[in-house]
């Protein structure tokens, strides 16, 4: 069975896959493509994208995701990374700028806020987040799976 492909001619990442826009290619498989990010926040910051155009994670066929994860692991191992983040943004307010699914592999070479991913982590407490409410929430979500 052939790999699922979908192209949007106006999409910058579809153009990169097609070679219409140059990129520093790292990996090229039937299902995905990896290349260096043009605006790196750390040395080795790269992107792994499906060869199936979809804006958000839930738009992708499962095969594409499996292949992408394998390639993220390959890139981390090849660079001998010990500290790194995998980031995949969905939607504008979640910091997505390019509407073709992409996974960032972002090395974290030091604990400095000057390189690598810097994360805010606003842990929620109190009303809406009590233990019994979390229990109910888990039931609600499981009921929809």
Q: Can you give the binding site for ligand 5GP, defined by CB under 6 A? A: 12, 21, 23, 35-39, 89, 95-98
> Taking CB positions, which residue lies at the least distance from Zn ion?
11
Q: Which does 8 bind (CB under 5 to 8 A by kind): Zn ion, ligand 5GP, none?
A: Zn ion
> Taking CB positions, which residue lies at the least distance from ligand 5GP?
39
**Active site includes 102?**
yes
Instruction: Indicate the residue among 94 and 145 with the shorter CB distance to ligand 5GP.
Output: 94
Instruction: For CA atoms 89, 26, 19, 22, give the dihedral sign.
Output: positive
Span 98-137, contacts to Zn ion by CB under 5 A: 100
Which residues on neighbouring strands pair with residue 33, listed in sequence order? 28, 49
Q: How far is the CB of 105 from ligand 5GP (least distance, A)?
A: 11
3-state SS, 79-101, equals CCCCCEEEECCCCHHHCCCCCCC
Residue 11 burial by Cβ neighbours in a 10 Å radius (0-12, 13-18, 19+)? middle
Q: Where are the alpha helices (DSSP H) in the chain?
A: 12-17, 62-78, 131-144
The residue ranges that bind Zn ion (CB under 5 A) are: 8, 11, 13-14, 53, 100
**Any idea which residues carry the catalytic annotation?**
102
């Amino acid at each position: 069975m052939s790999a699922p492909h979908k192209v949007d001619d106006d999409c910058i990442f579809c153009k990169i896959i097609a070679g219409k826009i140059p990129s520093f290619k790292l990996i090229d498989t039937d299902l995905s493509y990896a290349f260096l990010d043009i605006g790196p926040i750390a040395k080795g910051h790269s992107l792994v994208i499906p060869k199936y155009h979809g804006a958000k994670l839930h738009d992708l066929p499962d095969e594409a995701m499996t292949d992408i994860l394998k390639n993220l692991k390959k890139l981390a191992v090849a660079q001998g990374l010990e500290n790194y983040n995998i980031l995949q943004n969905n939607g504008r307010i979640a910091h997505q700028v390019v509407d073709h699914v992409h996974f960032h592999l972002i090395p974290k070479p030091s604990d400095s806020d000057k390189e690598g991913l810097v994360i805010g982590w606003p842990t929620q407490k109190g009303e809406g987040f009590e233990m019994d409410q979390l229990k109910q929430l888990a039931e609600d979500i499981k009921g929809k799976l």
